Amino acid sequence: MKTNLRYGLKLFRQYKASFLLVLGLLIIETAVSLVLPKLIASDIAAMQTLASTTQLGLASVGLWALLIVFQGTLRYVSGVKLNTLGATLTADLNNRLYTHIQSLPMRFFHHTNKGDILALLTHDLGVVSFYITSVVTTLIPNLLIFVGCAVLMFAIEPWISLIIVSVIPFLFVISKLLGRKIHPLANAIANTQAQSLAVANENISTISLVKSFTREQVESKRYARTQADLKQLRIRQFGFQSLLSPLVQTLTAIAVIAILGISIFKLESEALALADMVALLLYGLIFIRPISAFAGLYGQTQHLRGAASRLSLVWEAETENYHSLQPGHTAVSLPTNEVRFENVSFSYQPDHPVLTNVNFTLKPGGAMLIVGDNGAGKSTMLNLLLQYYQPDEGRIMIGGQDSRVLGVHKVRQRIGYVPQDVVLQSGTVHNNIALGCEGATDVQVIDAANKAGLTTIIASLPLGLNTQVGEGGIRLSGGNANV
């Protein structure tokens, strides 16, 4: 929670000007809302003392209309600014989270479903952004309306003010009871949505496998089950959320009727002036706005807590030592590319060693063939060399330096890696050959293609180096993609 608060304050400082502008517009609009009933009541009182009210009445109505138009304009401008701030904030949060996720070690991705990651980017960040822009930003104006209406009504008629304020405890109890039901449902919806995204992502990524084994109907049913679960959870959530609004409206309607009844009674007994009665009714109607907002605040906060807790697990995950060196070490040059494993041991799980005391040296320009049974650790050695993982014991030397002090970026820049599974990015053949060498020229790409023996294959493609390979290389033949 402290981490979430610190990050929230950091965001506020970054977008302070936008937040303050929106807040200022909302406060001005709130002030107009509070002034207008008092002005109408004063004009009505003044007109009651005049023999002819035509001139004053027209001027008063014109002023009221101008204030209402001004208030509407403020509400429009603040709404546009608020939505713009929300869109900017959501985009910024998405970019930051995506960048952070890419900096996490491979162990994180091996233990986290893709659907959970996609749900963070699509659902949870939206919840946080909505709460910051639409709930927190409007909280202060709603508090001002609440306090202002209560004080002004108390000044006119204390008993009516007490009736209105007495509604708050009932609304708090109702919202808390409903919030206890909504919070676990919101978490369950987020988890089920993540499962649904994971199923869809898996099926689309392996669509050729699905089609080759005629599993279209089986996979459709599997996806439909997640959607059915999601539908039931949302129906239950909407049921509780839909209950809140009628209860709030009923309680506030009772309060307004009470105001009307007491006002009529006091008006007949001449204990209340007509102008004050009008002001009380107008303030009572305005008072409904913050009451409705406060009623949903508890449930929205619970929803936020669920999303923020899931995001915190990712934000607090330790990232790779990407650019920086380990403390106490300085940048060094690597005279050679010699690779040496010194007593390297590693296990993915405790008490299940994959590699034990591995030693070998690969000289620059040399070649080495690693042979072993499935699961013997051949790919694991490459994973350790690329620093996807760190050895439990021993060390890996590159150019005479411990790879751990060099930083991930420097190590991976010196390694050309062709995985056993074909991995191509969506884009052109040119883009995939130049992957990892940003800014590579056409001459460099053609030279690399020639050295790799790709000249004949590229010449056979419709657009040569500019041929689109499709996501995962789906537009290429299996043989061409493997090459």
pLDDT top residue among 229 and 86: 229
pLDDT tens digit sequence for 34-68: 888 888 888 777 776 765 556 556 777 888 888 88
Token pair listed for 266 = 């006091």
Planar angle of CA 114, 119, 121, nearest 5 degrees: 100
For position 6, what pLDDT does the model report?
A: 61
For position 323, what pLDDT does the model report?
A: 52
Mean pLDDT computed over every residue of the chain: 79
Angle between helix axes 16-48 and 54-102 (nearest 10 degrees) is 160
Residue given tokens 């537009």 in the structure block: 475
CA–CA distances in Å: residue 67 to residues 25, 36, 64, 168: 14, 7, 5, 29
For position 332, what pLDDT does the model report?
A: 54
Whether the CB-CB separation of 41 and 278 falls below 8 Å is answered with yes
User: Residue ranges of the domains in the chain?
Assistant: 2-315, 339-413, 429-482
Confidence class of residue 5 from pLDDT cuts 50, 70 and 90?
A: low
Q: What's the pTM? A: 0.71
**Is the pLDDT reported for residue 293 higher than 60?**
yes
For position 9, what pLDDT does the model report?
A: 63
For position 422, what pLDDT does the model report?
A: 65
Arithmetic mean of pLDDT, 105-134: 81
For position 329, what pLDDT does the model report?
A: 47
CA–CA distances in Å: residue 263 to residues 25, 33, 36, 98, 154: 33, 21, 19, 59, 13
Whether the CB-CB separation of 72 and 16 falls below 8 Å is answered with no
Exposed (0-12), middle (13-18) or buried (19+): which is 420, by Cβ within 10 Å? exposed
Confidence class of residue 8 from pLDDT cuts 50, 70 and 90?
A: low
Confidence class of residue 481 from pLDDT cuts 50, 70 and 90?
A: low
Q: Specify the CATH architecture of the domain 339-413.
A: 3-Layer(aba) Sandwich (3.40)
Percent of the chain with pLDDT over 70: 88
**Is the pLDDT reported for residue 253 higher than 80?**
no
- CA 279 to CA 43: how far, in whole Å? 11
Fold matches, 2-315 and 339-413: no
CATH topology for the 2-315 domain:
ABC transporter transmembrane region fold (1.20.1560)
401-402: strand order across its sheet: 352-362, 339-349, 393-398, 401-402
pLDDT top residue among 256 and 283: 283
- CA 53 to CA 47: how far, in whole Å? 6
For position 343, what pLDDT does the model report?
A: 93
Considering only 61-75, 129-143, 317-331, which range has the smallest mean pLDDT?
317-331
Phi, psi of 294 (to 5 degrees): -65, -30
CA–CA distances in Å: residue 225 to residues 184, 185, 192, 228: 20, 18, 10, 5
pLDDT tens digit sequence for 411-450: 887 777 776 666 777 778 888 777 767 777 888 888 888 8
**Is the pLDDT reported for residue 186 higher than 60?**
yes
Confidence class of residue 471 from pLDDT cuts 50, 70 and 90?
A: low
**Is the pLDDT reported for residue 71 higher than 80?**
yes
Identify the three-state secondary structure at position 421: coil
pLDDT tens digit sequence for 358-408: 898 988 888 888 888 887 888 888 888 888 888 889 988 888 888 888 778
**Is the pLDDT reported for residue 155 higher than 90?**
no
For position 482, what pLDDT does the model report?
A: 56
Best-predicted range by mean pLDDT (2-16, 189-203, 243-257, 413-427): 189-203
- CA 377 to CA 412: how far, in whole Å? 20
In 3-state terms, the chain is what percent helix, strand and coil (to 5)?
Answer: 70, 5, 25
